[in-house]
Amino acid sequence: MIKKRLFLGLLACSLLLMAGILAYFFLTFFRRDPGVLRYIFLGVILAVLAVLAVILLGFSGILLSLLSDREFLFLEKPMNFTVSLLYPVVVRVGRLFKIAQDKIQRSFVEVNNQLVRVRCGRLKPDRLLVLLPHCLQTAECNKRITSDQSNCIRCGRCPVGGILNLCDRYGVPVRIATGGTLARDAVKKLQPQAIVAVACERDLTSGILDCIPLPVLGVTNERPNGPCYNTAVNLQSVEESILFFIKGGEKNVRLNLSS
Ligand code: SF4
């Protein structure tokens, strides 16, 4: 929960900041300006208040879901709206407090993953998509796996072969993307109902925000050689994420892994 608190705290600060700006405009312009201008400001203030009310609803939904580990379907749209609208504000507020962006991204991915995990619908394996970054392939390998992943001979020198084996075992489509555009194309073409994405915190964050309202479970890659070069990933985390969707929830994942 500690990691999640950072994003939630900044989200609360962003909400307060927006409310403060609204109060400032109310006190500065609305109360002083007589005549028609007053009514224009009233209209603007009411519109912003309505947006703030939806954001507050979304924020409450996020907190309730995280604290109770339950899904609140009727709050899903306000929650998605809150995250999409406030994420850029959260990053700026974080900058004011000198908090590194990658820390915020890590916290956001944690919050997102828990929000996805409180859902427990079961998916057909072919409705799920596993998205992998090209940097998982070792630089010494000359197989062209982004255009056709069957070119991978699963030699075991990098994690790609192991993940392809997992996807074959569970019958889940997989794509290896060199960047956001190829990943977006794969999502558009395959129209999955959920995604398991492996990437760094930065790419996971932009991918998750791009895919809203699609549920995305993010698995952060390990970068022992620096960013974007011969990265690694925990295969068990990838398998657990796949099973979460195709077995329908955390409890069934544990049963499946222990059997
Ligand atoms: S598993 Fe082997 S063949 Fe496949 S991408 Fe990695 S190094 Fe290349």
d(CA 99, CA 32): 38
Å from CA of 183 to ligand 1 middle:
20
Choose which residue among 142, 150, 153, 165 to substitute to test ligand 1 binding: the one with the highest number of ligand atoms within 8 A of its C-beta: 153
Provide the pLDDT for residue 33.
63
d(CA 241, CA 229): 24
Residues in the chain: 259
Å from CA of 177 to ligand 1 middle:
15
pLDDT tens string 145-169:
998 999 999 999 999 999 999 999 9
Q: List every span in the chain annotated with CATH 3.40.50.
A: 125-258
Nearest ligand 1 atom, CA 143? 8
pLDDT tens string 189-238:
999 999 999 999 999 999 999 999 999 999 999 999 999 999 999 999 99
Give the least confident one: 24-33, 60-69, 77-86.
Answer: 24-33
> Within 13 Å, how many C-alpha atoms sit on residue 178's CB side?
6
Q: Which two tokens stand for residue 235?
A: 């295969």
Å from CA of 123 to ligand 1 middle:
29
Give the least confident one: 55-69, 190-204, 243-257.
Answer: 243-257
Q: Across all residues in the chain, what is the average pLDDT?
A: 90
Q: Is 110 exposed, middle or buried (0-12, 13-18, 19+ CB in 10 A)?
A: buried
252 has a pLDDT exceeding 60 = no
May I ask the CATH class of domain 125-258? alpha beta
User: Which residues does ligand 1 sit against, CB inside 6 Å?
Assistant: 137-138, 141, 143, 145, 152-155, 157-158, 160-161
Q: Is 85 exposed, middle or buried (0-12, 13-18, 19+ CB in 10 A)?
A: middle
